[in-house]
């Protein structure tokens, strides 16, 4: 029927390969070294030696416990905040404001959000400066451990600021498929308060839709490295950081230990996901019992204020974090406890200018390459789905979420070992392909719905006017979907810009992006330089979103019919 | 050569159960009206003829257009024109670009431009080529949509509830205009509608589809 159809038919398979191939290869690649077999380094050990070494590491029990507790706490807090906010405030003006504030914050990279938070809450941070010395009497920073606290509270706080916007946006997308407004109206008419009515009438259906994103959050929170380096406990660190330490150790035997740790991390995440799943069952059962009892529970209603407060704190924290990074990047003298710098200077920007711009260039090249590949694959999948009914993302979209619920620390060590084994040196191309694993699902999730929601009758009309499938695609569908395509590209760029571990491990230290550079600097402790890199990273992730909104508005300024599409 | 549209023993099933069975011939300039309540499969019949049958449906029988069996041709090679109840003008193209999209390939720039201008003039829309479709009235959009379809030089015209969104006064005008333009080109018309007034105005034979169980 159509020329080139063979190629298009291959795209879904190619996409699955690009997305899951590295994950599967990485997990398999970890098996050998984890069992004491690392021929590339000429090493072999009895099969259980690496695991024994892992388990006999001092403090490993605390590392494991930290991964589980910080992961569960961050996920529960983020989900709770989003639930209370939606239950108490959907449709209100406050909600509209928060939604507008939180949406762009989703693009702020994790590392930048972590630096911003650290600059706020550290003993010498902005918050302490603002209340000192008039309220506290502090003339020097107080000697209390806030960052790197042994319980991981700062890490949890950092994770919550990033995961609330994520879960909120996923929920807002899902709510369109749930008849929320009318369900709540019915609940109200039956005598339930707005919050209780929403929790009983809407939440169960919403949760069914956002279950996978919640699992992604839990997996991410349990295995995050970049945020944990900035905010997390250090002695001992969470398991994920411990694995990366082993990976970066000069002694090659440590690679076997790292591989064993990676598999342990995978088992830990899977077990915690199972625990969460059981928790869902328990909550559902309790909920059903509650509904059967018909309790209206008016005492629940005031909790909406908690949701509003938590969401507002999240939004203000990220915004204030960006603001304090701006101040630090131009601060010449900023002694404690002054609330503002005593003198300003552009010296850091000038001194770091060459490094900043070359790192920015490398960051954007990697991000653009992986995003362009992702866009081609995703558009190919969606076209193949429409033309040949080859549906990649069927029920539950589980395939797309799979690379996101396997912890990065579980498969990247094995992938790195495989690349070394295969004699493929570290470098940009492997890094781009590693980024693609994470960019692809997000681009797909972003573009899939608007692509499918496009009125197919326009395609029929175009075809009856004599346009073949390719002409329909290039002349009608893609131009009309310019906004969603650019937004998906911005999502892809932001995901790539924010990647730390794939860049670090697969790049073998030879590929420097704004994220890896900022984290490398973070141990040095010059706040001005860290702030400059953090800001640059934020800008690199945010600007594409501004373009995705601005470009269609300019291109289609004389086309009212596309103003909201 | 036999001019017109012939539906030879067309049967459409949805998920294995029979939906439509129709055997019909529409000669040049004739109208066949297919009536029936919504959900009976009228639009499905049209999507079979345009070659855009949705998944879940299966069909047998042949579609012969001007003596040529088009059943297995891809949608864009069938030369079947269709109008839906919405105008479905491409929102990213100007009125003139919409018409140019429909106009069959060939001819130099000036000749194509002249054809577009005269098509606009034919329906009283001189000077509208540069306009954004979103700024047109309902009746104007319907006229542009009709001319876009006619410029692609179809061999048959399908009307899928094409007038049901228009208010009563406008409906008569647009209906009259569509039939007049189609007759001027001696096109066979297959119209599906649930409006008896449409059928009366068309004047041709009427087939009523009912639930196949009855």
Instruction: Answer whether residue A393 shows pLDDT above 80.
Output: no
User: How many Å lie between the alpha carbon of B19 and the closest alpha carbon of chain A?
Assistant: 21
Predicted pLDDT at A4: 52
Q: Cβ of A480 and B90 within 8 Å?
A: yes
Q: Cβ of B133 and A561 within 8 Å?
A: yes
User: How many Å lie between the alpha carbon of B84 and the closest alpha carbon of chain A?
Assistant: 8
Contact yes or no for A38/A239 (Cβ under 8 A): no
pLDDT higher for A74 or A49?
A: A74
Q: Measured between alpha carbons, how far is residue A106 from residues A100, A161, A227, A477, B19 in Å?
A: 11, 9, 15, 28, 49
Instruction: Answer whether residue A2 shows pLDDT above 50.
Output: no
Predicted pLDDT at A100: 84
Q: Cβ of A562 and B92 within 8 Å?
A: yes
Predicted pLDDT at A268: 96
Structure tokens at A517: 């550079």
Give the nearest chain A residue to B94 (CA atoms). Answer: A559
Mutate which of A457, A458, A461, A476 to test chain B, going by most B C-beta atoms within 10 A?
A461
Least Cα distance to B65 among B53, B54, B51 occurs for B51
Predicted pLDDT at A1: 39
A399-412: average pLDDT = 91
Cα A297 → chain centroid: 36
Predicted pLDDT at A392: 64
Chain B: which residues have CB within 8 Å of chain A? 47, 50-52, 55, 74-82, 84, 86, 88-92, 101-102, 104-105, 132-135, 148-149, 152, 154
A478-488: average pLDDT = 95
Q: What is the pLDDT of residues A53-79, one digit of tens each?
A: 999 999 999 999 999 999 999 999 999
Q: Cβ of A465 and B75 within 8 Å?
A: no
Give the nearest chain B residue to A556 (CA atoms). Answer: B92
Q: Cβ of B80 and A462 within 8 Å?
A: no
Alpha-carbon distance of A63 to B61, in angstroms, equals: 69
Looking at every residue in chain A, the average pLDDT score rounds to 91
pLDDT higher for B40 or B132?
A: B132
Please report how many Cα atoms fall inside a 13 Å half-sphere around the Cα of residue A459, on the Cβ side.
23
Q: Measured between alpha carbons, how far is residue A198 from residues A88, A283, A285 in Å?
A: 8, 16, 17
User: How many Å lie between the alpha carbon of B89 and the closest alpha carbon of chain A?
Assistant: 8
Q: What is the pLDDT of residues B126-142, one digit of tens each?
A: 999 999 999 999 999 99
How many CB contacts within 8 angstroms connect chain A with chain B?
86
Q: Read off φ and ψ for residue A427, nearest 5 degrees.
A: 165, -175
Q: Read off φ and ψ for residue A312, nearest 5 degrees.
A: -65, -40
Contact yes or no for A355/A529 (Cβ under 8 A): no
Q: Cβ of B91 and A559 within 8 Å?
A: yes
Q: Measured between alpha carbons, how far is residue A213 from residues A75, A185, A306, A312, A336 in Å?
A: 10, 27, 23, 22, 41
User: How many Å lie between the alpha carbon of B214 and the closest alpha carbon of chain A?
Assistant: 31
Q: Cβ of A461 and B82 within 8 Å?
A: yes
Beta bridge partners, B24, equal: B7
User: How many Å lie between the alpha carbon of A418 and the closest alpha carbon of chain B?
Assistant: 43
Chain A: which residues have CB within 8 Å of chain B? 1-2, 389, 455-469, 471, 475-476, 479-480, 482, 556, 558-562, 565
Least Cα distance to A308 among A126, A113, A157, A168 occurs for A168
Domains of chain A and CATH, by start:
9-30+52-557 (1.10.3720.10)
Q: Cβ of B92 and A457 within 8 Å?
A: no
Pairing of strands B68-69, B57-65: antiparallel
How buried is A68 (Cβ within 10 angstroms: 0-12 exposed, 13-18 middle, 19+ buried)? middle
Domains of chain B and CATH, by start:
5-93+137-208 (3.40.50.300)
- Percent of chain A past pLDDT 90, that is, above it, reads 68
Q: Cβ of B51 and A475 within 8 Å?
A: no
A154-169: average pLDDT = 96
Instruction: Answer whether residue B213 shows pLDDT above 50.
Output: no
B23-52: average pLDDT = 91
A384-409: average pLDDT = 79
Nearest by CB: A465 against B84, B86, B101: B101
What residues have CB less than 8 Å from B52, skipping those under 6 apart? Answer: A456, A459, A460, A463, B75
User: How many Å lie between the alpha carbon of A465 and the closest alpha carbon of chain B?
Assistant: 5
Least Cα distance to A117 among A252, A318, A291 occurs for A318
pLDDT higher for A114 or A37?
A: A114
Residues of chain B positioned with their CB less than 8 A from the CB of A456:
52
Structure tokens at A497: 């810009």
Residues of chain B positioned with their CB less than 8 A from the CB of A477:
none
Give the nearest chain A residue to B49 (CA atoms). Answer: A464
Residues of chain A positioned with their CB less than 8 A from the CB of B81:
464-465
Instruction: Answer whether residue A178 shows pLDDT above 90.
Output: no
How confident is residue A446, by pLDDT bands cut at 50, 70 and 90?
Answer: very high
Beta bridge partners, B205, equal: B32
User: How many Å lie between the alpha carbon of A370 and the closest alpha carbon of chain B?
Assistant: 29
pLDDT higher for B33 or B209?
A: B33
Predicted pLDDT at A316: 94
Q: Cβ of A464 and B84 within 8 Å?
A: no
What residues have CB less than 8 Å from A304, skipping those under 6 apart? Answer: A84, A87, A88, A89, A194, A195
Residues of chain A positioned with their CB less than 8 A from the CB of B133:
561
Alpha-carbon distance of A145 to A136, in angstroms, equals: 17
Structure tokens at A217: 């959050």
Instruction: Answer whether residue B151 shows pLDDT above 90.
Output: yes
pLDDT higher for A358 or A189?
A: A358
Instruction: Answer whether residue A425 shows pLDDT above 90.
Output: no
**DSSP secondary structure, A499-534, as one string:** --HHHHHHTTTS---HHHHHHHHHTT--HHHHHHHH
Instruction: Answer whether residue A5 shows pLDDT above 70.
Output: no
Instruction: Answer whether residue A3 shows pLDDT above 70.
Output: no
How confident is residue A417, by pLDDT bands cut at 50, 70 and 90?
Answer: confident
Predicted pLDDT at B15: 86
Alpha-carbon distance of A325 to A182, in angstroms, equals: 44
Q: Cβ of A560 and B135 within 8 Å?
A: yes
């Amino acid at each position: 029927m159509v020329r080139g159809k063979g190629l298009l038919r291959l795209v879904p398979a190619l996409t699955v390969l690009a997305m899951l191939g590295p994950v599967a290869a990485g997990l398999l690649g970890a098996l050998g070294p984890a069992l004491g077999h690392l021929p590339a380094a000429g090493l072999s050990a009895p099969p259980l030696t690496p695991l024994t070494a892992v388990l006999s590491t001092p403090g490993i029990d605390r590392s494991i416990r930290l991964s589980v507790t910080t992961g569960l706490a961050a996920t529960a807090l983020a989900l709770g905040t989003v639930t209370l906010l939606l239950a108490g405030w959907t449709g209100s003006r406050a909600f509209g404001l928060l939604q507008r504030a939180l949406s762009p914050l989703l693009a702020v990279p994790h590392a930048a959000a972590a630096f911003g938070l650290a600059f706020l809450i550290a003993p010498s941070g902005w918050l302490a400066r603002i209340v000192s010395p008039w309220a506290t009497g502090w003339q020097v920073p107080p000697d209390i451990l806030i960052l790197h606290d042994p319980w991981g509270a700062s890490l949890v706080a950092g994770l919550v600021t990033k995961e609330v916007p994520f879960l909120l946006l996923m929920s807002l997308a899902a709510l369109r498929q749930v008849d929320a407004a009318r369900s709540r109206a019915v609940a109200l008419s039956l005598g339930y308060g707005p919050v209780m009515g929403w929790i009983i009438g809407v939440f169960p259906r919403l949760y069914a839709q956002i279950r996978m994103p919640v699992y992604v959050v839990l997996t991410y929170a349990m295995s995050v490295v970049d945020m944990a380096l900035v905010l997390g406990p250090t002695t001992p660190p969470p398991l994920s950081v411990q694995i990366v330490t082993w990976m970066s150790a000069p002694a090659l035997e440590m690679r076997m230990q790292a591989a064993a740790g990676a598999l342990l991390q995978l088992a830990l995440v899977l077990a915690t996901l199972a625990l969460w799943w059981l928790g869902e069952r328990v909550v559902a059962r309790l909920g059903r019992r509650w509904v059967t009892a018909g309790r209206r529970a008016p005492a629940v209603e005031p909790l909406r204020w908690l949701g509003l407060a938590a969401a507002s704190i999240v939004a203000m924290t990220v915004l204030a974090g960006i603001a304090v990074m701006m101040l630090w990047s131009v601060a010449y003298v900023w002694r404690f406890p002054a609330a503002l710098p005593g003198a300003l200077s552009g010296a850091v920007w000038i001194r770091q200018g060459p490094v900043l711009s070359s790192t920015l260039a490398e960051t954007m090249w990697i991000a653009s390459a992986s995003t362009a590949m992702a866009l081609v694959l995703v558009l190919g999948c969606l076209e193949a789905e429409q033309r040949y009914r080859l549906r990649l993302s069927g029920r539950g979209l589980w395939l797309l979420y799979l690379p996101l619920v396997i912890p990065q620390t579980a498969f990247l060590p094995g992938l790195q070992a495989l690349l070394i084994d295969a004699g493929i040196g570290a470098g940009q191309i492997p890094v781009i392909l590693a980024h693609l694993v994470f960019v692809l699902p997000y681009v797909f999730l972003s573009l899939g719905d608007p692509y499918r929601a496009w009125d197919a009758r326009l395609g029929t009309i175009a075809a009856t006017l004599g346009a073949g499938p390719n002409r329909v695609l290039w002349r009608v569908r893609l131009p009309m979907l310019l906004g969603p395509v650019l937004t998906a590209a911005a999502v892809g760029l932001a995901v790539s810009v924010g990647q730390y571990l794939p860049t670090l491990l697969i790049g073998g230290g030879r590929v420097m992006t704004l994220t890896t550079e900022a984290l490398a600097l973070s141990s040095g402790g010059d706040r001005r330089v860290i702030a400059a890199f953090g800001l640059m990273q934020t800008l690199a992730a945010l600007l594409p979103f501004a373009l995705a909104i601005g470009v269609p508005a300019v291109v289609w300024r004389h086309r009212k019919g596309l103003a909201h599409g | 050569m036999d001019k017109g549209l012939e539906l030879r023993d067309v049967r459409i099933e949805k998920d294995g159960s029979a939906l439509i069975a129709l055997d019909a011939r529409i000669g040049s300039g004739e109208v066949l009206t297919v009536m029936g309540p919504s959900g009976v499969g009228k639009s499905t019949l049209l999507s079979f003829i345009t070659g855009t049958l949705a998944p879940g449906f299966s069909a047998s029988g042949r579609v012969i257009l001007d003596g040529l069996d088009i059943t297995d041709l891809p949608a864009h090679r069938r030369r079947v024109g269709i109008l839906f109840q919405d105008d479905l003008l491409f929102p990213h193209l100007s009125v003139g670009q919409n018409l140019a999209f429909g106009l069959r390939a060939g001819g130099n720039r000036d000749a194509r431009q002249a054809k577009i201008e005269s098509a606009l003039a034919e329906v009283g829309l001189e000077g509208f080529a540069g306009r954004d479709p979103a700024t047109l009235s309902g009746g104007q959009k319907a006229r542009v949509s009709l001319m876009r379809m006619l410029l692609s030089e179809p061999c048959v015209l399908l009307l899928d509830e094409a007038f049901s969104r228009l208010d009563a006064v406008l409906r008569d005008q647009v209906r009259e205009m569509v039939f007049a333009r189609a007759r001027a080109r001696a096109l066979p018309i297959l119209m599906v509608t649930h409006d008896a007034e449409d059928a009366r105005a068309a004047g041709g034979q009427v087939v009523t589809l009912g639930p196949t169980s009855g």
